[in-house]
Amino acid sequence: MNEVEAKPVWHRRNLLDINSLSREEIEALFKTAHSFREVSTRSVKKVPALRGQVVVNLFYEPSTRTRISFTLAAQRLSADVVDFIADASSISKGETLVDTANNIIAMGVDTIVLRHPAPGAARFLASNVDVAVVNAGDGAHSHPTQGLLDLYTLLDNLGSLEGRRVAIVGDISHSRVARSGMLAFRKFGAEVVLVGPPTLVPRSFSELEGVTISHSLDAVLGDVDAICLLRMQRERQGAGLFPSLEEYSRLFGMNSERLQRCRDDVLILHPGPMNRGIEITPDVADGERSRVLAQVTNGLAVRMAVLYMVAGGSA
């Protein structure tokens, strides 16, 4: 075998959040993801890198697309994948997270992909079990692979984020996507403006360097290179945080009229699933500035890179 040229920078056995990653680690991950995009263009979309390994999707919250993305990512690396959807089984019998995980690990598992409603669940699990742990969303805390794939998509389109401005629009308070994106974009030099009604944007975020808050989408439109829309969760309606979805849509929804006032080369991102007609109109979602489907494709490559990297991690 040829000697490895570049000194490996990734030694982590877990991916728990964005904040603990260095810029160098993210760059190494993206370089790997770039190679995996090539794999997805082959007629045989599979490489033997993780042959014989087992990845478990341990999901305590419903999520179809993130789970499928991780499943495909693992399968393209030739790992075996098992889904453990915890709502119906052990959780209702009172088993703890660590017990559930250890039971699964006892069957010979190498990596756990965890989705859990409690912030910090992934870190807690990682410090209590002896396998690699990948956070696929823990409460409102973090969704690192989403933050990374958003960052990857922006870098892929813009080259660099130095001096760029990115708006994140919607329910910032309850969004792990917003937190992960914000931290990821900042690490690569972008300024971030958080946009939403005062009830949905924590004021304390403005204390972060390079982060500002605006309560008017119209005020920032012409001033940003990319707009990341968040899914407005219908469940939040009626909680007194905003008057109605109609009003939210009028003030913070992205439509073609607003797109006209953006820069010509603005990028529109959305983590999905989209509420068409609420945070984004169909013509914008399907329009030429939208990168929504590129996000999905890139997400697969980024998750392949994450699973590949943590498989060799030790720390």
Partner 1 sequence: MKERVLYDARQTRTTIDAFLDGLASRYREHVDAFPDQPLQIVGIRRRGDTLARRLEARLSSAGVTVPQLGVLDITLYRDDFSPSRPQPMVSPSEIPFEVEGAHIWLVDDVFQTGRTIRAALNQLSDFGRPRCVTLAVFIDRQMRELPICPDVVGLELERPSDERVQLHLEEVDGVENVVGVVHGE
Nearest distance from C-beta of residue 77 to partner 1, angstroms: 8
Q: Comparing C-alpha atoms, which of 182, 58, 160, 179 is closest to residue 109?
A: 58
Considering only residues 38, 87, 99, 246, which one is a binding residue for partner 1 as defined by CB under 8 A? 38
Total chain residues near partner 1 (CB under 8 A): 35
Give alpha helix (H) positions in 7-96.
Answer: 23-39, 65-76
Nearer residue to partner 1 within complex by CB, 78 or 90 = 78
The least distance separating partner 1 from the CB of residue 54, rounded to whole angstroms, comes to 12
Please, which residues have CB within 8 angstroms of residue 165's CB and are 6 or more apart in sequence?
Answer: 190, 191, 192, 193, 220, 223, 224, 225
Beta bridge partners of 56: 82, 112
By CB under 8 A, residue 70 contacts partner 1:
no
Binding of partner 1 at residue 39 (CB under 8 A)?
yes
Longest dimension (CA), the chain: 63
Among 25, 49, 98, 272, binds partner 1 (CB under 8 A): 49
List CB contacts of 160: < 8 A, sequence separation 6 or more: 188, 189
- Contact between 141 and 132 under an 8 Å Cβ cutoff? The reply is no
Position 30 contacts partner 1 (CB under 8 A): no
Instruction: Closer to partner 1 by CB, 39 or 85: give it.
Output: 39
Tokens at residue 37, please? Answer: 């995009």
User: Residue 269: which residues within 8 A CB-CB, separation 6 or more?
Assistant: 150, 153, 154, 226, 227, 228, 229, 291, 292, 295
Q: Scan residues 107-166 and list those touching partner 1 (CB under 8 A).
A: 110
Tell which residue, 86, 88, 87, has the closest CA to residue 101. 86
The 3-state DSSP class for residue 193 equals strand
| Per CB under 8 A, 44 contacts partner 1 | yes
Kindly write out the interface string for residues 170-209 of this chain, putting x where it contacts partner 1 by CB under 8 A and - elsewhere: ----------------------------------------
User: Residue 106, interface with partner 1 (CB under 8 A)?
Assistant: no
Crossing angle of helices 23-39/144-158, nearest 10°? 80
Is 40 an interacting residue with respect to partner 1 (CB under 8 A)?
no
Least distance CB 263 / partner 1 (angstroms) = 31
CA 52/CA 41 separation, integer angstroms: 23
Identify the sign of the CA torsion 163, 142, 15, 135.
negative
Region near partner 1 per CB under 8 A, out of 43-51, 135-143, 213-221, 223-231:
43-51
Nearer to partner 1, 77 or 229 (CB): 77
Shortest reach from residue 33's CB to partner 1, in Å? 9
CB of 181 to partner 1, least distance (A): 26
Smallest distance from partner 1 to CB 38, Å: 4
CB closer to partner 1, 35 vs 90:
35
- List interacting residues with partner 1 (CB under 8 A): 1-6, 8, 10-11, 13, 28, 31-32, 34-39, 42-44, 46-50, 77, 110, 308-309, 311-314
